Amino acid sequence: MIQNSIQAFRMNRANKPTAQTVEKTKRSGLLARQQVADTQAQMVNATEGMRRVTNTPEYDPAAKIEEWIKEVEDIRAERMANLEGKEGLESSLRPNIRYENEFRGTVEPPEKIKADSEFTSAVAALADKYNISESEVYAVIQGESAFNPKATNKSGATGLFQIMPDTAKEIGTTTEDILNMSPAEQVAVYDKYLARWNYTGDNRLGIMQAAPAFADRGPDEVIYSKGSAAWKQNPGWRELNNGPITVKSINNYYAKRANK
């Protein structure tokens, strides 16, 4: 009897905490789920509130991608519409080849010859006559004779502008006479040379050294065809992309030399 009572007491003590623990765990689980639900509700309410304040639509990735695709298609359609009536997509998108024609360089004669006022006045008058810059005249002299009025070479070219013997005869003088001329007088001879070839000043003065017969020709006039001896000897004179030598490519060569 006593023994049975003791065992019953022990069983009651063992079962009582377990039942209480299970009950507490259930209550804790319910409370935690309620807290999660409350937190989710608060987040939804906060997000909705922010949307109402900022008036920001809900972000939809698929819709955004569709929007981007449409923008690209619209741009492509606009570009193709702009190309209608042109030679083709490739030619229309090719950048224009740029040929320089304006002489913008600055060339000054050495002090010794610059002190010769008759010479500098003659150059100024020549430049004014042909509507070119004095620097362009000086650039030709610098390239031909380095401002030496007594300069000669094996071919017989003479003076500041390196006039050839046959050319000298054509304009009524000789290379021997040129050697005895002052710098100002040699400028006057060069003026006769320019007039002899109908130079107008529309093309660069360098063409008078390269191809005087083309002095008054248009920019697209071919001077030396591709593959000719002169074309092979003067790569700098060629049109861009190794085209023929034309008036505009000669102008381009001398204009760019001036700007270096």
The CATH architecture of the domain made up of 111-258 is Orthogonal Bundle (1.10)
Mean pLDDT check: name the lowest of 32-41, 55-64, 98-107: 55-64
- The better pLDDT of the pair 102, 161 is held by 161
pLDDT (0 to 100) of residue 182: 97
The mean pLDDT value of the chain amounts to: 81
Each as own residue / partner, the long-range contacts of residues 173-182 (CB below 8 Å, 24 or more positions apart, any chain) are 179/150, 179/152, 181/149, 182/116, 182/118, 182/119, 182/149
- The better pLDDT of the pair 124, 6 is held by 124
Q: What percent of the chain has pLDDT over 90?
A: 51
Mean pLDDT check: name the lowest of 95-109, 157-171, 197-211: 95-109
pLDDT band at 67 (very low <50, low <70, confident <90, very high): confident
Choose from 39-43, 91-95, 250-254 the range with maximum mean pLDDT: 250-254
pLDDT band at 7 (very low <50, low <70, confident <90, very high): low
* Residues pairing with 158 in the sheet: 152, 163
pLDDT (0 to 100) of residue 196: 94
**pTM (whole model) above 0.85:** no
**Which tokens sit at 104?**
């913008």
Can you give the residue ranges of every domain in the chain? 1-53, 62-94, 111-258
Q: 224 with 244: CB under 8 angstroms?
A: yes
121: pLDDT strictly greater than 90: yes
Q: Under 8 Å CB-to-CB from 92, ≥6 apart: which residues?
A: 83, 86
173: pLDDT strictly greater than 60: yes
pLDDT (0 to 100) of residue 8: 58
Mean pLDDT check: name the lowest of 59-68, 157-166, 208-217, 247-256: 59-68
**Average pLDDT for 3-20:** 56
Mean pLDDT check: name the lowest of 46-50, 67-71, 135-139, 192-196: 46-50
Q: 174 with 165: CB under 8 angstroms?
A: yes
**Average pLDDT for 62-66:** 68
pLDDT band at 244 (very low <50, low <70, confident <90, very high): very high
Q: 205 with 140: CB under 8 angstroms?
A: yes
**Look-up: residue for tokens 């710098």?**
183
pLDDT (0 to 100) of residue 72: 73
What are the tens digits of pLDDT across the range 75-108? 777 776 665 555 454 444 455 567 888 888 889 9
pLDDT band at 185 (very low <50, low <70, confident <90, very high): very high
**Which tokens sit at 188?**
């006057």
